[in-house]
Chains A and B, each alone.
Chain A
Amino acid sequence: MNYHSRKLLKLNLAPWRMATVGSLMLVGLTVVAGRAFYLQGLNTDYLQGKGDAVANRNLILPAQRGQVTDRHGQLLAISTPVESLWARPGELKLTAAQQTQLARVLGMPGSELAKKMARKTRGEFSVRRPVTPEQAVKIAAMGVPGLHLRREFRRYYPAGEVAAHVVGFTNVDDLGQEGVERAYQDWLAGREGQRQIQRDRRGNTIRDLAPIKTAQLGGNLALALDLNIQYLAHRELAAAIAKNKAKGGSVVVLDAKTGEILALANQPIFNPNNRRNYKPGPMRNRAVIDTFEPGSTIKPFVAAAVLERGLFHPDSVIDTPETWRVGAKLVRDTHPHPQLTVSEIIQKSSNVGAVKMAMSLTPQQHWEVLHRSGFGQLPGSGFPGESAGRLRDAGTWKPVEQATMAYGYGLSVSLLQLTRAYMAFANDGEVMPLSFLKREPQEIAGVRVFSSSVAREVRAMMETVTQEGGTGMRTRVPGYRVAGKTGTAHKLVDGRYAPDRYLSSFIGMAPASNPRLIIGVVIDEPSGGVYYGGSVAGPVFAQVMAASLRQLALPPDAPESATRMTQNMLPVVARAGGGV
């Protein structure tokens, strides 16, 4: 069929129109192709980036801080996620009814909430941190634009102030500030992980774009602390501080066999869960950081020094006049006895006797025994800020100074250091390294300080302290033999010894036949009328020791009281250590 021949179908177009339409279409095509080339070829990186930004996400996987527990797994510190309520003022659309509801959910007066919400800050502000899980659910259900919940970790200390000085605390950035939290920061903190993911339109994760860098969770830490003993120490110390109207005090409980710190309590205390109103004073771990002049508690070391060199025997008799002159210094005994044996010098805490024994040593020999016992050196517990105390070099000692050193003036120690040094007497001459962490017995090697015979002789002397005629009769523990030494030292105030300010202390061990526990107690400035170490610190020792021995279910070693008890033939009410 010939279209051209049919009149109706005959196109009668001017050639220029054909050309115009054709070229317009060509131009259109070129534009589209050019645009496509521009997008796909030249601008691809930028656009790909934009697309990825919508679909891909970099997630930070938070590393939860490790837990701190006591030796039996009782929780001392744990991080747990909490929700906190934040508001963005720019987007906030809160109706009056919603505001009332929110105030009710938060348990906050309406006016206070209104004031908070009226804030015109840039960015966002927190309304309440943290909120409880129940509150979080209710708030999320309200779905108010501009209000959102944010998850963050918060550190809790379930034992509160009882273990606060040992455990320490973290700051808002989860960095350890004090105590174990600071000492083991790296171990507890862990490392954040990262994950790159692709999301679909609805926000579901479709796939991982890169291998996941898993978060390294913070390690858990089991302390040597026994929370039960820690609580007893805390309770008894607090009671003694109140009773004696003292400024402060500390208790340290050591395992004599392993060097583990079973309890360490201080007064005054602070609450690690309440992070407001922090004062540095109560936060200080006095037992580890503060030093004091030990007073008579140093005398057993003098006795050990003279026994070890064979200069005296425990039964050697020494003349002990009421006063004794060394250089310009008059050494005085408050309860004089004309003659005492070495053992009785310890029992009755005679200054004159201790000085006479010390003066039989050269300064170098005297210094060497104190140095060997750990004075003037860091105790090595690893606690942040632990104090080394002060022990001057023997070359600088004048005779007067050596004399005062014999009854505990002119050198300074921390309670932890002093208690550690007593481990030599408790452990037949060997001192175990201190540890705040729980340890397996086989991984410990001790250091020999005294021969085992000297250690036993001094321990026997210290046992007489708690017997009839000793200075520590109020430190007795029924059923057990106790050895220890009292100390009452004048405090140094503005370079002079204050006549009416004292530090009362007692360091002791039980069961004396084979000591398992050493407890050191120091009370700072008792002002309730009594100030002797045996009367102020002694009862704290006795209470904590009795309860701890029961806690550890150690068999009694005092024969006379055991027989007395069986004669009574009373029904068994509670067995030592038995869980009733």
Chain B
Amino acid sequence: MSRLNVVLALLLMACALALIQSQHRSRTYFVELERLKKQAHMLDEQWGQLQLEQSTWANPARVDTLARTRLGLIAPPNDRVRIETLTAAP
């Protein structure tokens, strides 16, 4: 009888320690989760800002002006364009 009590006491002890352990782990994981969420949020914001930047650079008005002024490009006049018609192979 007393041996059983000892076993149970040890078991109880182990459970108590496990509880502490798991509680601690849950806290650490929670903190980690929060940190990663924050990071995800920051990356989202950064992505938005990069998209904004990209679209500002790629703005047709800007590309058009740069192409004409800095690169000296022109749309090909019609007599310099040849239309090729592709015929589907049988």
Residues 17-60 of chain B: 1 if any A CB is under 8 Å from the residue's CB, otherwise 0? 00000000001001100100000000001001101101110111
Please state if A158 and B64 are interface contacts (CB–CB under 8 Å).
Answer: no
Say yes or no: is A235 at the interface (Cβ < 8 Å to chain B). yes
B58-A80 in contact (CB<8A):
no
A570:B79 contact, CB within 8 angstroms: yes
Considering the complex, which residues of chain A in the window 330-372 have a beta carbon less than 8 Å from any beta carbon of chain B? none
Q: A80: which B residues are within 8 A, CB to CB?
A: 45, 48-49, 52
| Interface positions of A from 31 to 73, Cβ below 8 Å from B | 67
B30, A207: Cβ atoms under 8 Å?
yes
A385 interface residue per 8 A CB criterion: no
- Compute the total of residue contacts between A and B using a CB distance below 8 Å: 83
Q: Are A565 and B83 in contact (CB under 8 A)?
A: yes
Partner of A565, one of B27, B31, B52, B81: B81
Q: Cβ of B76: which chain A residues have Cβ within 8 Å of it? A: 573-574
Q: Contact partner of A572 among B48, B56, B64, B84, CB < 8 A?
A: B84
- Assess A570 versus B27: contact at CB under 8 Å? Given A78-B52, A80-B52, A235-B64: no
Do residues B83 and A78 form an inter-chain contact, with CB atoms below 8 A? no
CB of A206 within 8 A of chain B? yes
Number of interface residues of B (CB under 8 A): 27
Majority secondary structure, A binding face: mixed
Please indicate the chain B residues that have their CB under 8 angstroms from the CB of A571 in the complex: 82
The reply to whether A158 and B80 form a contact with Cβ atoms under 8 Å apart is no
By the criterion CB–CB under 8 Å, are A156 and B52 in contact?
Answer: yes
Q: Do residues A74 and B27 form an inter-chain contact, with CB atoms below 8 A?
A: no
Q: In whole angstroms, what is the CA distance A75 to B58 when docked?
A: 10
Flag A542-580 by CB within 8 Å of B: 1 or 0 each: 000001000000011000001001101111111110000
A162, CB-defined interface residue at 8 Å: yes
Nearest-neighbour CB distance to chain B for A503, whole angstroms, equals 27
Q: Which residue of B lies closest to A207 (CB)?
A: B30
- Roughly how many angstroms separate A160 CA and B58 CA in the complex, as a whole number? 12
B69-90: contact bitstring with A at CB < 8 Å (1 yes, 0 no)? 0000001101111111100000
Interchain residue pairs A-B with the least CB separation, the first 8: A231-B60, A75-B55, A158-B55, A478-B78, A573-B76, A573-B80, A80-B48, A574-B76
List the interface of chain B (C-beta within 8 A of A). 27, 30-31, 34, 45, 48-49, 51-52, 54-56, 58-61, 64, 75-76, 78-85
